[in-house]
C-alpha cells in the first residue's frame, strides 16, 4: 500500500454557509421559500413545502461552539463559513452591531481552537431591502456590497486573514437569472450578463477595500469549475470568463469542484444522492486549468450528498489523491475544505440531500459524527493518505 503525504501546514477544513446552517435568517431566500409562487410550484410537484423552508436549519447560529468542538475532535484546522449580510444590515444603512459581535465571537471561538477562519462575504442571500430594489441587477448593488464589506473589515479584519468575497458567481447567476429556478427567478440573458458584471465589479471594489484596510489579508472568490471533457468552448466560458474579469484582483483562487461534464453524456459512472456523477480525476484537470493564473489554490468546496454514508470516505480519499497529483505536478494547492461540515439546507432541494461530515437530527438538533468524518479526521491528523 502506497502512502501519500501532504506538506506540513496544509489546511484541512470543512465549509458551510450562513443560510444553509444558521437558522432564523430573514433574507430574499427565506421570503422566497414561503412565497405563494414557490409553495404552488412545490405542491404541483407533489412535494411538501415545509421541507423546503430553511427555518431553524441546523441551528448553527446557537450551537457553533459545539460544532467547533467537533471540528477540533476531528483534527480540522480550518473552517469556511459566511457572514449573513441581512443580519448585519437588516435595513438600508442601519448596521446591527450586535450581529457583528456575534461573528466576532464565532471567529474567536475558532481561533481559540486553532482553526483558521475563511470568511465568505456573499453566499447567495441578500437583505430584503436590497432584493426589493432589484438585488444584483441594481447598478448600486456593488457599492452597497462594498459598504457592507468595509464595515465587516473595519470591525473584524484583525481576526481574519482569508476572505472570500463571492461564492460561485456562475452557479448563482445561471440558476437565478438564466434558468429562473432560484430567486428572483428571472430568465434573461441580458439580465444575466448585467448581474455577472455587477458581481465582478462588487468583487473588485471589495478586494481593494479589504486590502486597503488590512494589507496582509488574502482575498479571493470561490469559483465552481467543471471539468468539461471534449467541450472546450463551454469549459472556457464556464471556468474562465469570470476569473479573467477579476484576474488582477485576487490573492488566491478558491476552487469548488463537484462535477465533470461530457458530450455526449457518459453513462455508467457512480452518482451521488443528488444524481451528480462522481469523477475524482476531474479535480486534477480543473486544478491544472488554473495554472495560468499563478495563484495559490484552496479547494474551498468538494463533497457528496450521501445519506447512508456508504460512499463519502472513498469520495474524499479519491479526490485528495488527485489533488495530491496536481501538487506533484507543481500546482500550489494549500488546503482542502470538505462540503459540508454539517447536514444543511440545500437551497431549492431542501433538507433531503445530506452532505455533512456530521449528521443532524432536525427534530432534536442532535449531532452525530459520521464514520467518513473519522476517516477524514485521520487524514487531517497525519497529513497522509493511504492509497
Ligand atoms: C455549492 C454551493 C454550496 C452547496 C454545494 C452542494 O454549489 O456553494 O452552498 O449548495 O454546492
The predicted pLDDT at position 231 comes to 87
Mean pLDDT of the chain: 97
Distance 3 CA to ligand 1 centre (A): 31
| Rounded Cα distance, 372 and 178, in Å | 36
Q: What are phi and psi of 125, to 5 degrees?
A: -115, 140
Residues 66-76 have a mean pLDDT of 98
Whether 116 is catalytic: no
The predicted pLDDT at position 26 comes to 98
Distance 275 CA to ligand 1 centre (A): 14
The predicted pLDDT at position 188 comes to 98
**Closest to 80 measured CA to CA, from 13, 153, 155:** 13
Residue 43 has pLDDT above 80, yes or no: yes
Residue 1 has pLDDT above 70, yes or no: no
Q: At 260, is the pLDDT very low, low, confident or very high (cuts 50, 70, 90)?
A: confident
Residue 157 has pLDDT above 70, yes or no: yes
Whether 301 is catalytic: yes
Could you read off the pLDDT of 82-134 as tens digits, one per residue?
Answer: 999 999 999 999 999 999 999 999 999 999 999 999 999 999 999 999 999 99
Distance 208 CA to ligand 1 centre (A): 26
Q: Kindly report the pTM of this predicted structure.
A: 0.98
Q: Per the residue annotation, which of 168, 328, 366, 386 is the catalytic one?
A: 168
Q: Which three cell numbers stand for residue 257?
A: 469542484
The predicted pLDDT at position 300 comes to 99
Residue 19 has pLDDT above 70, yes or no: yes
Does the CB atom of residue 124 touch ligand 1 within 6 A?
A: no
The predicted pLDDT at position 230 comes to 84
Q: Per the residue annotation, which of 84, 89, 116, 301 is the catalytic one?
A: 301
Mutate to test the pocket of ligand 1, among 14, 15, 121, 168 (most ligand atoms within 8 A of CB): 168
The predicted pLDDT at position 269 comes to 86
Could you read off the pLDDT of 316-363 as tens digits, one per residue?
Answer: 999 999 999 999 999 999 999 999 999 999 999 999 999 999 999 999
Could you read off the pLDDT of 194-245 as tens digits, one per residue?
Answer: 999 999 999 999 999 999 999 999 999 999 999 998 888 899 999 999 999 9
Residue nearest atom 4 of ligand 1, based on CA coordinates? 346
Cα–Cα distances (Å) from 148 to 102, 106, 218, 246, in that order, read 16, 18, 18, 20
| Rounded Cα distance, 184 and 182, in Å | 6
Does the CB atom of residue 347 touch ligand 1 within 6 A?
A: yes
3-state SS, one letter per residue, for the chain: CCEEECCCCCEEEEECCHHHHCCCCCCHHHHHHHCHHHHHHHHHCCCCHHHHCCCCCCCHHHHHHHHHHHHHHCCCCEEEEECCHHHHCCECCECCHHHHHHHHHHHHHHHHCCCEEEEEEECCCCCHHHHHCCHHHCCCHHHHHHHHHHHHHHHHHHHCCEEEEEECHHHHHHHHHHCCCCCCCCCCHHHHHHHHHHHHHHHHHHHHHHHHHCCCCEEEEEEECCEEECCHHHHHHHHHHHHHHCCCCCCCEEEECCCEEECCCCCCCCECCCCCECCCHHHHHHHHCCHHHCCCEEEEECCCCCCCCCCHHHHHHHHHHHHHHHHHCCCCEEEEEEECCECCCCHHHCCCCCCCCEEEECCCCEEEECHHHHHHHHHHHHCEEEC
The predicted pLDDT at position 233 comes to 87
Distance 81 CA to ligand 1 centre (A): 12
The predicted pLDDT at position 259 comes to 86
The predicted pLDDT at position 263 comes to 78
Could you read off the pLDDT of 105-115 as tens digits, one per residue?
Answer: 999 999 999 99
Amino acid at each position: 500500500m502506497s502512502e501519500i503525504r501532504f506538506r506540513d501546514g496544509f489546511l484541512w477544513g470543512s465549509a458551510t454557509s450562513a443560510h444553509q446552517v444558521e437558522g432564523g435568517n430573514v433574507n430574499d431566500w427565506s421570503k422566497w421559500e414561503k412565497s405563494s409562487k414557490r409553495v404552488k410550484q412545490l405542491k404541483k410537484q407533489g412535494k411538501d413545502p415545509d421541507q423546503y423552508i430553511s427555518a431553524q436549519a441546523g441551528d448553527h447560529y446557537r450551537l457553533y461552539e459545539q460544532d467547533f468542538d467537533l471540528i477540533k475532535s476531528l483534527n480540522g484546522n480550518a473552517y469556511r463559513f459566511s457572514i449573513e449580510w441581512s443580519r448585519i444590515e437588516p435595513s438600508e444603512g442601519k448596521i446591527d452591531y450586535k450581529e457583528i459581535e456575534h461573528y466576532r465571537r464565532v471567529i474567536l471561538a475558532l481561533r481559540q481552537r486553532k482553526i483558521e477562519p475563511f470568511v465568505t462575504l456573499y453566499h447567495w442571500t441578500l437583505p430584503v431591502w436590497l432584493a426589493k430594489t432589484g438585488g444584483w441587477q441594481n447598478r448600486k448593488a456593488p457599492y452597497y456590497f462594498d459598504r457592507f464589506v468595509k464595515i465587516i473589515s473595519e470591525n473584524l479584519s484583525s481576526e481574519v486573514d482569508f476572505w472570500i468575497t463571492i461564492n460561485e458567481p456562475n452557479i448563482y447567476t445561471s440558476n437565478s437569472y438564466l434558468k429562473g429556478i432560484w430567486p428572483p427567478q428571472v430568465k434573461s440573458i441580458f439580465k444575466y450578463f448585467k448581474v455577472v458584471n455587477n458581481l465582478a465589479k462588487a468583487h473588485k471594489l471589495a478586494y481593494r477595500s479589504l486590502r486597503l484596510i488590512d494589507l496582509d489579508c488574502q482575498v479571493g472568490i470561490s469559483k465552481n469549475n467543471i471539468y468539461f471533457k471534449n467541450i472546450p468552448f463551454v469549459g472556457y466560458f464556464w471556468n474562465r470568463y469570470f476569473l479573467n474579469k477579476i484576474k488582477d484582483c485576487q490573492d488566491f483562487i478558491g476552487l469548488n469542484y463537484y462535477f465533470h461534464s461530457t458530450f455526449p453524456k457518459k453513462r455508467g459512472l457512480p452518482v451521488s444522492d443528488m444524481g451528480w456523477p462522481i469523477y475524482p480525476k476531474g479535480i486534477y484537470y480543473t486544478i491544472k486549468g488554473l495554472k495560468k493564473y499563478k495563484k495559490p489554490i484552496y479547494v474551498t468546496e468538494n463533497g457528496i450528498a450521501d445519506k447512508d454514508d456508504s460512499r463519502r470516505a472513498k469520495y474524499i480519499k479519491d479526490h485528495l489523491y488527485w489533488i495530491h497529483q496536481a501538487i506533484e505536478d507543481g500546482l500550489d494547492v494549500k488546503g482542502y475544505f470538505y462540503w459540508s461540515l454539517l447536514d444543511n439546507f440545500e437551497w431549492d432541494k431542501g433538507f433531503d440531500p445530506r452532505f455533512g461530515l456530521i449528521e443532524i437530527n432536525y427534530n432534536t438538533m442532535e449531532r452525530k459524527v459520521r464514520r467518513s468524518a473519522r476517516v477524514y479526521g485521520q487524514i487531517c491528523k497525519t497529513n497522509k493518505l493511504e492509497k
